[in-house]
Amino acid sequence: MRRVVPIILLCALLPLHAVSLRYAAQARKALPQGREEAAYAIPGPILKITSLEFDGLASDLMFLRALVFYGSTYERKEKPRVKDWEWQRLYRELTAATDLDPYFRDPYYFAEGTLPWDGHLVNETNLLLEKGSKFRDWDWLMPFYVGFNHFYFLQDNAQASTYLMEASKRPGSSVTIASLATRLAVKGDRTETAIVFLEQLLTQEKDEEIKKEYKVRLKALKGIWVLEKAVASYNASFGKPPASLNALVERRLLRQIPVDPYGGTFYLDEDGAVKTTSDLRHKEDK
């Protein structure tokens, strides 16, 4: 009798598997020519049905597929290195991986390190992280990442503060998190706060490639912060903003203009804010 039950279950699930294969075939036909392999990802609910009791293994394989694809893009010479529809493909695969196993940490961390920065999928990344925060309710990094995204990308300090407060209550969270939440609640300096955020991210990140990217961003933000403080000093001393950043060197408020590690040039916009021609992005990613 014990052997009969799995056989009956398998027979019952075979039609569902056939339906999923038909769905996959139809979806592939609907894709533009030449993009099938790059753009298609079977939805998580369908994979969950067809993977039977092997949800964890299926999640691992889906995440591995996303990693292999993303790694392969570094061999490209065209710009942008990753197309918009390919970022969407990555997002769907990471969504499927976390649908199969919502407790699997790595897809969430990988998503945060890639999708909002170069893929500009901030809201999509937050949806993933919200799922991670719900299931991994002991992991303070899940709400921390959502809070960072609300602050840095969406410029929503109120939402960012709410998520950081949640992160500060979870095991392993540092005092810095509660301090950040308070700072956001009173709308502190954005660049300095972003630096504190990134330094916290850097201490937690394990992937060396993502850590390398965080360090570049951190260096760029510190350059902007130095310039912003010098501009504020110029305003206080001369009662007006500098005509350009070169005036900061001429007035000996700075020895030299910091170098943008992304290859751009720092400048003052019409409102007197410090900007960079790189938009804090590598040239090959534009």
Together in a domain, 127 and 38: yes
Together in a domain, 22 and 105: yes
Domain assignment present for residue 9? The answer is: no
Q: Is-contact 169 177, C-beta < 8 A? A: no
Together in a domain, 145 and 97: no
pLDDT in the model for residue 286: 58
113-171 pLDDT, tens digit per residue, is: 999 999 999 999 999 999 999 999 999 999 999 999 999 999 998 899 999 999 999 99
Nearest to 242 by CA among 277, 271, 272: 272
**Rg value, the chain, Cα:** 23
Domain assignment present for residue 41? The answer is: yes
pLDDT in the model for residue 18: 43
Domain assignment present for residue 218? The answer is: no
**Which residue in this structure is represented by tokens 């998503």?**
111
pLDDT in the model for residue 16: 43
Together in a domain, 131 and 144: no
Ordered DSSP codes for 8-39:
HHHHHHHHHHHHHHHHHHHHHHTSPTT-HHHH
pLDDT in the model for residue 260: 95
Helix, strand, or coil (residue 175): helix
Q: Among 172, 206, 240, which residue terminates a domain?
A: 206
Together in a domain, 121 and 145: no
Q: Among 98, 117, 136, which residue terminates a domain?
A: 136
Q: How confident is the model at residue 91 (pLDDT cuts 50, 70, 90)?
A: very high
Domain assignment present for residue 157? The answer is: yes
pLDDT in the model for residue 41: 65
201-231 pLDDT, tens digit per residue, is: 888 888 888 888 889 989 999 999 999 999 9
pLDDT at 34 over 70: no
Together in a domain, 132 and 69: yes
Domain span including residue 242: 231-286
Give the mean pLDDT of the chain.
83
The mean pLDDT of 58-63, rounded to a whole number, is 90
Together in a domain, 131 and 169: no
More confident residue, 29 or 130: 130
Q: How confident is the model at residue 193 (pLDDT cuts 50, 70, 90)?
A: confident
Together in a domain, 132 and 45: yes
> Which region holds residue 252: left if phi is over 0, alpha if psi is between -120 and 50, else beta?
left
Q: Is-contact 101 48, C-beta < 8 A? A: no
Domain assignment present for residue 224? The answer is: no
Together in a domain, 147 and 116: no
Q: Is the pTM of this model over 0.75?
A: no
**Which residue in this structure is represented by tokens 């710009």?**
79
258-276 pLDDT, tens digit per residue, is: 999 999 999 999 888 899 9
pLDDT in the model for residue 6: 42
Together in a domain, 94 and 200: no
pLDDT in the model for residue 196: 86
pLDDT in the model for residue 281: 80
Domain assignment present for residue 147? The answer is: yes
Domain assignment present for residue 216? The answer is: no
Together in a domain, 170 and 99: no
pLDDT in the model for residue 28: 43
Share of the chain above pLDDT 90, in %: 53
Q: Is-contact 137 153, C-beta < 8 A? A: no
Together in a domain, 160 and 75: no
Cα of 145 vs its chain's centroid, Å: 8
**Which positions ≥6 away from 73 have C-beta within 8 Å?**
81, 82, 86
How many domains is the chain partitioned into structurally?
3
DSSP for residue 103: T
Q: How confident is the model at residue 187 (pLDDT cuts 50, 70, 90)?
A: low
Domain assignment present for residue 69? The answer is: yes
Q: What is the CA angle 187-188-192, rounded to 5?
A: 140
β-sheet bridge partners, residue 268: 274
d(Cα 199, Cα 218) in Å, to the nearest integer? Answer: 7
Q: How confident is the model at residue 2 (pLDDT cuts 50, 70, 90)?
A: very low
DSSP for residue 173: -
Q: Among 92, 118, 136, which residue terminates a domain?
A: 136
Tokens of residue 166, six digits: 């949640």
